[in-house]
Amino acid sequence: MNASDQITKRIKETKGWRGELLARLRKLIHEADPEITEEWKWDSPVFSHNGLVCGVSAFKEHVGVNFFKGASLKDPGKVFNAGSDGKAMRSIKFYEGDATNELAFKNLVRAAVAQNTAKKK
């Protein structure tokens, strides 16, 4: 099964608000970068463009998005709310009922892609 099919399967298996949020985050990531690649790593959806961008996972109480090089990204929308103690990664934890700043989220995806693209030149 290819990565996109595995991600679709995971979304369908994840019931309730967490599955809905996984689907919405996937859509936002693709809107932010139509050229992003879907991968399946560490039993989770991972998105890359000239390197790893972010991974998305559903947990019992929240949905998490890990930006692999998030520590080096500016976050003017104050979207990151976890992982600030890590050297490279930064995370966003979404809990049921949380509002999503979609523009700020997409801007983080774009910034991560731009960072990966700049390093590859």
CA distances from 120 to 33, 58, 59, 113 (A): 17, 31, 33, 11
What's the whole-model pTM score?
0.94
Please tell me what DSSP assigns to residue 79: -
- Where residue 14 sits, what CATH number does that domain have? 3.90.1150.200
Tens of pLDDT, residue by residue over 39-83, are 999 999 999 999 999 999 999 999 999 999 999 999 999 999 987
pLDDT at 40: 97
Confidence grade of residue 119 (pLDDT, cut at 50, 70, 90)? low
The whole-angstrom separation of Cα 118 and Cα 81 is 26
Q: Which domain holds residue 56?
A: 3-120
Judge contact between 74 and 108, C-beta under 8 A. no
Backbone angles phi, psi at 45, to 5 degrees: -70, 130
Residue 86's pLDDT is 75
Number of domains in the chain: 1
